[in-house]
Amino acid sequence: MKIATFNINGVKARLQTLLDWLERDAPDVVLLQEIKSVDEGFPREAVEDLGYNVETHGQKGFNGVAILSKLPLEDVTRGLPGDESDEQARWIEATVVGNTHAVRVCGLYLPNGNPVEFGADGKPLATGKYGYKLGWMQRLADRGAELIASEMPALMAGDYNVIPQAEDAARPEAWENDALYLYESRAAFRRVLNLGFTEAFRARVRGPGHYSFWDYQARSWERDNGIRIDHVLLTPQAADLMTDVGISRDERGREKPSDHVPVWVDLAA
């Protein structure tokens, strides 16, 4: 069961790019972020024609997540629990019924968190967009703890908007005061890992030079000025099933690319 996460930066503007990739790569399950579309606007038929079931959690203009699956989906839920007042569409989960296992998959688009406000002491304040990010990450940890406790094969994958370590940025010094790399963001990410999750890519690959995002600006792709912010976190029962993992870097060099590329895992499920 090949499961990929992909921030496509607008499903309508990226439809041909998405369809070409789906045909070429044939993932069984796709967790999409930043569809930037309401549910009714999602190009459902074009994706269904390639053999996918489609479940969306859309929002007008911004955010929006979706699950595409060649395998049956059950028990779909939308929205990250823990704050009824949160109206941003950043979380969707479902159970994928595989040949040998059922896998709970959670697709997430973690808040960017910029701009950050700093206090007189120079320390970041947990206010505004950065406060929303940190609060969202606490709710993520709460949901993650439930998944760990379930003792089921499960994963949480998506655009985490967190650079976990210096080696995950071509120029870490450029991100020092950015919400993607501030200590509190990385600490919150590590708290989620410490619940018992395996970060799929780093379970297999070490060292610098592995990125999942290159900004459209300043010739970032041409200079390989990237960051690794799209991650797949596996419960122990899912990690035991992992047979392969990768980042589809080449997608960034194609026609009309997203600024992110797919990150994928293969599970023996």
Partner DNA sequence: ATGTCGGTCCATGACCGA
Known binding residues? 7, 34, 159, 161, 259-260
Q: Which residues are annotated as a binding site for Mg(2+)?
A: 7, 34, 159, 161, 259-260
Cβ nearer to DNA, comparing 90 with 104: 90
* 15: nearest Cα among 199, 212, 256, 195: 256
Binding mask 144-183 for DNA (x = CB under 7 A): ----------------------------------------
C-alpha to C-alpha distance for 118 and 257, rounded to whole angstroms: 34
Q: How far apart are CB 203 and DNA at their closest, in Å? A: 26
Which of 16, 49, 51, 62 binds DNA (CB under 7 A)? It is: 62
Q: How far is the CB of 93 from DNA (least distance, A)?
A: 21
CA distances from 118 to 137, 150, 244 (A): 20, 39, 41
Compute φ and ψ for 247, nearest 5 degrees.
-120, 125
* Minimum separation from the CB atom of position 58 to DNA (A): 10
Token pair 């930043």 in the structure block, residue: 34
The single residue among 3, 4, 5, 9 that binds DNA, judged by CB under 7 A, is 9
Among 78, 97, 114, 193, which residue interacts with DNA (rule: CB under 7 A)?
114
Assess contact for 11 and 89: CB atoms under 8 A.
Answer: no
φ, ψ at 14 (rounded to 5°): -110, 15
